[in-house]
Amino acid sequence: MRKTIIIAEAGVNHNGVLSNAKKLVDVAAEAGANFVKFQTFKAEKIASKFAEKANYQKQATSRNENQLEMLRRLELSEQDHIELLEYCAKKSINFLSTAFDVESIKMLQALGITLGKIPSGEVTNLPYLRKMAAAFPNLIMSTGMATMGEIHEALNALTTAGAKRENIVVLHCTTEYPTPMADVNLHAMQTIQKELDVLVGYSDHTLGIEVPIAAVALGACVIEKHFTLDRNMEGPDHRASLEPGELFEMVRSIRNIERALGSTLKQPSGSEQKNITIARKSIVASKRISKGEPFSEDNITVKRPGTGISPMQWDNVIGQKAIQDFNEDELIVLK
């Protein structure tokens, strides 16, 4: 059975409060996610004082602050990261964080992190991509807003800088919060896999859990999904995130889909074997038949159970002579 890596994206839904971050770890661990992911950044390194907030951020945060001021409130310190790593180990869930700047890459590397997450906004950031390739032996790259050409260029940048193609997972993604269903374009994930020959997954920003489940059915080996303690909390990403109960349901559903996908073989399953003779049919007498009488369409028919001669042998039975008397509904037997 193929096992999907499920990343519960806490992101900045802790609102800069370590105790909230730990509660998010609790939820992700209890839901059965493989990773709980945060975001590591220095606000001054990723946004200028002139950077505006996105519309979805304006709707969920104070309009009296710019993007830089909002990001400052959402930072986690190095000590916070250390505590979260220890807490994740205690809760038996893997820690992961997206580094948004070079300083943050170095910090995560120093903390022993070996899996790097590249956010959609950095796909066209060549110096950043080179640093990520050098810092982490395994990489996951989201591709929201990117064209196939840009993804190809980013992959080339990573591999040229030392990353192994087989250690890179490319996530199809749409950078809109929430993402309208009409903009998901889930088949693009398969296009990425086919054209670029890489492992693929899906980073979801839709409302609900249907699309990530569908992505697993289409071959995603990694699923990333935002979650929150409460969608009504103030903050940029809460409204497009799952609440705890929904995260539980998504993980449960994905695991069920994994089991349901099975293998490429088409054969009777173990659970249905017992129903074969009940549901299928056999050739039986449609009326009394005397010994020596030829079988014909007038004196035989097909009925359950399937314990006798298969109806697929109909043409072989027609014309043969009865070796004994048969009553109506009795299974036909040959020599």
Both 207 and 281 in one domain: the answer is no
Q: What is the pLDDT of residue 57?
A: 78
Domain tally for the chain? Answer: 2
Closest by Cα among 252, 176, 243 to 212: 252
> Both 176 and 243 in a single domain?
yes
Q: Quote the pLDDT of residue 1.
A: 63
> What number of H helices and E strands is found in the chain?
13, 10
CATH number, residue 307? 3.90.1210.10
In a shared domain, residues 213 and 312 = no
pLDDT at position 60 is: 64
Rounded Cα distance, 119 and 237, in Å? 15
How many beta carbons lie within 10 A of that of residue 62, not counting itself?
11
Position 77 confidence tier, pLDDT thresholds 50, 70, 90: very high
Q: What is the rounded average pLDDT for all residues in the chain?
A: 95
Q: Which of 244, 261, 278 is the last residue of a domain?
A: 261
Say how far apart CA 10 and CA 202 lie, in whole Å. Answer: 16
Give all strands (DSSP E) within the chain, no chain letters.
5-11, 35-40, 94-99, 115-118, 138-142, 168-173, 199-204, 222-226, 282-285, 300-303
Name the E strands within 5-159: 5-11, 35-40, 94-99, 115-118, 138-142
Residues 147 and 294 in one domain: no
Which of 242, 261, 280 is the endpoint of a domain? 261
Could you give the angle at the alpha carbon of 168 between the alpha carbons of 163 and 169, nearest 5°? 165
Q: Give pLDDT tens digits for 214-236.
A: 999 999 999 999 999 999 998 88
